[in-house]
Chains A and B, each alone.
Chain A
Amino acid sequence: MAARVEARGGAAPLDLAAIEAASARQERRRRWQRVSTRTLSLLALFGAWWAVAAANATYFKWFNPVLLPAPPAIGKEAWRLLVLGTLQWDVLASLARVAQGFVLAAILGVVAGTLVARVRTIENVVEPVLDVLRPIPPLAFLPLLVLYLGIGEASKIGFIAYSAFFPIFTTTREGIKYVDPLLVRAAESLGATQRDILRYVIIPAAMPSILTGLRLSFALSFFVIVAAEFIAAERGLGFLINDAREFFRVDRMLLGAAAIGLLGYGFNQLFGRLERALVPWKD
């Protein structure tokens, strides 16, 4: 059966200002919904934790209350350590290690990724080595690193650098290797030399993937710092957690974890901003 399609009506004059205002209102409502739902989700997690901890401690006695302290206990412990001045030091010590290891990894990863993507011989020499190393968990090399570099800062920074190297290397290599060849042709036809092409085409084209790699690597640096600080550290958030384990201080363990979570979140936001500033042409 044939269907009849009709469009009719709409002859009344259009109040464009009102339509625009309604659309803006809807946009605001959507944004508010997004923020409020996300906040509520976090608050619910927090509330559930608090409720379970409180109910267990005062009434149900499902398990030893030491195993799950309530949020205020963590806050109190954080305050105590801040006043003592040790929490700041632990955060700073971890940040310093992460920063040094990450910068090292970033430089090596970008340089190696670029060379491997651009020079066939280097690719053939370097790639099989990295392909063999990549699947081995970096943690497997930590004891060796401690043997080689000692129990001081060098082994921790080296461990972070090694772990964070791979994501940067991989995304840089892919980003540079898969630059649209037509863009290179367009630049060549405008008179670009090989150096111009690297500077004006390849690096800007690869920038988004390099930034993604940096972000992943930074997150990974935080991921592995705790393990590095489990071994022979005197400061740092990993040390805080490991030390708390020996004294059965669950509140401190959770505090250490929360501090890492907050720092990671903050830096991720920062990276997001950096990306938007460096690649304004992407949406």
Chain B
Amino acid sequence: MSKVYVTRQGPMIAVHDLSLEMRHEHFVCLLGPSGCGKSTLLSMIAGFVTPTSGRILVDGRPVTRPGRDRGVVFQEYVLFPWRTARQNVELGPLLQRLPSAEQQQIAERYLALVGLAEHAHKYPRELSGGMKQRVAIARALANAPQVLLMDEPFGALDAQTREVMQEELLKIWLAERKTIVFVTHSISESLYLADDIVVMTARPGRIKEIVRVDLPRPRERGSPEFVAIARSVERLVKEEVLKAGLV
């Protein structure tokens, strides 16, 4: 499928002739230089943006609009500032018209899962960046989606928080076993998390290569195997960065 944006400078091909199949219950990272269309691809899976040509199928059903089968975690957290952490997590169950006792129970379970049980009553402005993103993850999971779409979710966090969040996300994923599509431009992040790393080309975005990472988890970031794969992925990405003239 393809996506063309019409801009003031003329049409811009964000994604062209891309086809990709993501394996059920696997962790897939979309990796590429900025502007390679990886976020556009994620937006199309989420249903925020319609492809110019081609289509997207989730479990065989074509995507036409956003829906609760595809949970989304955004880079900028995007919590509802007027709802407390708990009320944010409760919104999905609330929209499903579940009884309020059940909403509360679900919210409590997922807030506990992300380690925020004690901060349930706080408003987003009272939470740190890492905590906000935990709430956003809990909110997405509480809705029991089939696919979890994450758009550079840890991009705005500091390096230490980021590593902790990666470890926790992995734990949650091992417990809940969803298909996760995770956009990042960090090679080490993708290598730490993914089963499959989809390396994308510079604009227009296509698939350059799919790297299958078979290392056992939890992965040791300094191990020779890790470093070896990181080197080869880095080479792939660098070619695209240079091609796009981004340096």
A residues near B (Cβ < 8 Å) are 180, 182-183, 185-192, 196, 200-201, 204-205, 207, 279-283
User: Which stretch in B52-60, B73-81, B103-111 binds the other chain?
Assistant: B73-81
Segment 60-76 of B: residues with Cβ below 8 Å from A = 65-68, 70-72, 74, 76
B74 and A186 within 8 A (CB) = yes
A193 nearest CB neighbor, chain B only: B95
Given A182-B74, A185-B48, A189-B72: A201 touches B80 (CB 8 Å cut-off): yes
Chain A contacts for B66, CB-based, 8 A: 185, 188-189
Q: How many residues of chain B are within 8 Å of chain A by beta carbon?
A: 28
Given A191-B95, A191-B96: A207 touches B82 (CB 8 Å cut-off): yes
Alpha-carbon separation in the docked complex, A67 to B133 (Å): 66
State the Cβ distance, B49 to closest chain A Cβ, in Å: 10
State the Cβ distance, A200 to closest chain B Cβ, in Å: 7
Segment 66-123 of B: residues with Cβ below 8 Å from A = 66-68, 70-72, 74, 76, 78, 80-83, 91-92, 94-96, 123
Q: B125 an interface residue at 8 Å Cβ cutoff?
A: yes
A-facing mask of B118-142, CB < 8 A → 1, else 0? 0000011100000000000001100
* Top 7 A-B pairs, shortest CB-CB distance: A191-B68, A188-B66, A189-B72, A190-B92, A281-B82, A204-B82, A281-B123
Given A189-B70, A191-B67: A205 touches B82 (CB 8 Å cut-off): yes
B65 and A204 within 8 A (CB) = no
Chain B contacts for A189, CB-based, 8 A: 46-47, 66-68, 70-72, 140
A182 and B82 within 8 A (CB) = no
Chain A contacts for B81, CB-based, 8 A: 281-282
Q: B50 an interface residue at 8 Å Cβ cutoff?
A: no
Pick 21 A–B contacts, CB within 8 A, sort by A: A182-B76, A183-B78, A185-B46, A185-B74, A185-B78, A186-B72, A186-B74, A188-B66, A189-B68, A189-B72, A190-B68, A190-B92, A190-B95, A191-B95, A200-B91, A200-B95, A201-B80, A204-B80, A204-B82, A205-B82, A280-B123
Q: Out of B47, B71, B74, B91, which one reaches A187, CB within 8 Å?
A: B91
Interface of A is mostly: helix
State the Cβ distance, B132 to closest chain A Cβ, in Å: 12
B143 and A279 within 8 A (CB) = no
B70 nearest CB neighbor, chain A only: A189
A191 and B143 within 8 A (CB) = yes
Alpha-carbon separation in the docked complex, A279 to B76 (Å): 22
State the Cβ distance, A280 to closest chain B Cβ, in Å: 8
Chain B contacts for A200, CB-based, 8 A: 80, 91, 94-95
Alpha-carbon separation in the docked complex, A248 to B181 (Å): 80
B92 and A191 within 8 A (CB) = yes
Chain B contacts for A207, CB-based, 8 A: 82
B92 nearest CB neighbor, chain A only: A190
Q: Out of A182, A196, A282, which one reaches B78, CB within 8 Å?
A: A182
B74 and A283 within 8 A (CB) = no
State the Cβ distance, A210 to closest chain B Cβ, in Å: 13
A196 and B95 within 8 A (CB) = yes
State the Cβ distance, B79 to closest chain A Cβ, in Å: 8
Chain B contacts for A282, CB-based, 8 A: 81
B80 and A183 within 8 A (CB) = yes
Q: Out of B65, B94, B123, B124, which one reaches A188, CB within 8 Å?
A: B65
Chain A contacts for B96, CB-based, 8 A: 191
A-facing mask of B19-39, CB < 8 A → 1, else 0? 000000000000000000000
Most chain B CB neighbours (cut-off 10 Å) among A190, A200, A201, A204 = A190
A190 and B78 within 8 A (CB) = no
Alpha-carbon separation in the docked complex, A59 to B67 (Å): 83
Chain B contacts for A182, CB-based, 8 A: 74, 76, 78
Alpha-carbon separation in the docked complex, A189 to B42 (Å): 13
B82 and A279 within 8 A (CB) = yes
Chain A contacts for B91, CB-based, 8 A: 187, 190, 200
A281 and B48 within 8 A (CB) = no
Chain A contacts for B46, CB-based, 8 A: 185, 189
Chain A contacts for B123, CB-based, 8 A: 280-281
State the Cβ distance, A65 to closest chain B Cβ, in Å: 57
State the Cβ distance, A75 to closest chain B Cβ, in Å: 46
A186 nearest CB neighbor, chain B only: B78
